[in-house]
Amino acid sequence: MIEIYRDLLIVTCIGLLSWGIIRIERIYQYPFFMGSMFTSFILPQAFALIDQPGILTPKAVENVLFVSFLCAAACWIGYASKPNRKWLAKLNIVIDERKLFQAGIALMIQGLFFNFLLSRTTLQLAETGGTWQGPSTIYLFFSQVINIAFGLFLLQSLKHPKIINLICTAISGWPLLSTVLGGRRQPMMTLIVIIGFSLWLVYRFLPPRLVIIAAIFLMTVLLPVFGAIRGDFWNLVLTGNWEKVFSLVQDVFETQQKGEILELRNAAVFIDASDKTGMYGYGTGWWDSIVFQYVPGQIVGYDFKRSLQFNLITQETLEKLYGYTIPNGSTTTGIGDSFTEFSYLGCLTFAMIGYIFKHLWISAVYQKSIFSMLLYMGLISPAMVGLTHGIGRFVQEAIFQVSFVILVAYYSRAKYKSQYI
């Protein structure tokens, strides 16, 4: 059965990619970019896990491959569903561009201010997992609004290439670009998405099909390298040290195939633990993620913060059942945490996210809703991170994006709808 589930996953990934490549304008739509992530992130680990299962039983390997297939298939099923006209009507918010510009300036100033504070703050790391804690987490949280401002000003610059729009685009985009140069993977995907989707919305510009195919291959090869060497990657590229780059790619690939650290193994362990114990979160795990992100322990106290969380299946649970410790810096993936919440029905989470993206796409592309454009650009990266890091991470970032984009839309909305809308 392992081979059957593996092949089902492969066929589904090929189907998602083919769906986009056949009609190239689909590359910014949910099934394609999620298919790209399943292909580049999950598939290589699936092959490594089959060869190097470690503590996993054949049944556990079968289960994680089957759940991976269900989640990949759900991405297309949710997106293919018929949209809700009432949702589309609510998304079609008419915007006053003068107020929109003012809102963008406010977001840019806020982002620059908190980026400045972050640069002057000594990072405090948690003893377990190495995650940030202390004031730096608050500064980082509020600094990210500058990405919304960047998307807003880029759209305005492409439609109205005035000096002021171009200057604001450059200023608001610099923090994101500098993070990319530091070798961070999610900011790199965010930058690509904002620029590419904006060019599509305004000019209907699309890269050639062969470039897209090459990009999928490069993403599969280079994403693990980015995670391993961070900013050194760009130093090697800019200095033309290709021999070192190819050597690192080979080393990272060989390390992955040895299967010593695999996020998919983490997912398999969590899936097996939930299956054995019958302990499912029914959404409490995602609530824990919200508390972790939005309740400041340094203000209300870490004991109080922990009292708000459920923590049903923890590291201690895995150590007791399997003697297994999740390696620092690795994740449980959206495959793992969706199953621990709702068993096999957890895959419908990917379908629901796809259904939301379907509405945002129609609203942004056909109704020309600025609100939907900004929200779409803001949610693509969290959706991909939802697969690699967990649905809880998507929920965290989605709340952030939706909240601030709604504030922008509320402030910028026009008093009267045009009769031509």
pLDDT, position 336: 94
Burial (0-12, 13-18, 19+ Cβ within 10 Å), 15: middle
The answer to whether the beta carbons of residues 221 and 173 sit under 8 Å apart is: no
What's the average model confidence in pLDDT over 385-391? 94
The answer to whether the beta carbons of residues 148 and 107 sit under 8 Å apart is: yes
pLDDT, position 329: 76
More confident of the two residues 246 and 418: 246
Residue 87, pLDDT above cutoff 80: yes
Give the model confidence (pLDDT) of 50-80 as tens digits: 999 989 999 999 999 999 999 999 999 999 9
Give the model confidence (pLDDT) of 277-330 as tens digits: 888 999 999 999 999 889 888 788 888 988 998 888 777 778 888 888 888 878
What's the CA gap between 96 and 94, in Å, rounded?
7
pLDDT, position 377: 93
The answer to whether the beta carbons of residues 145 and 107 sit under 8 Å apart is: yes
What's the CA gap between 311 and 288, in Å, rounded?
7
Q: Tokens 């996993």 belong to which residue?
A: 56
In 3D space, the residue among 108, 150, 147, 151 whose CA is nearest the CA of residue 370 turns out to be: 151
pLDDT, position 418: 45
| pTM more than 0.85 | yes
Residue 420, pLDDT above cutoff 90: no
Percent of the chain clearing pLDDT 70 (strictly above): 88
The answer to whether the beta carbons of residues 180 and 191 sit under 8 Å apart is: yes
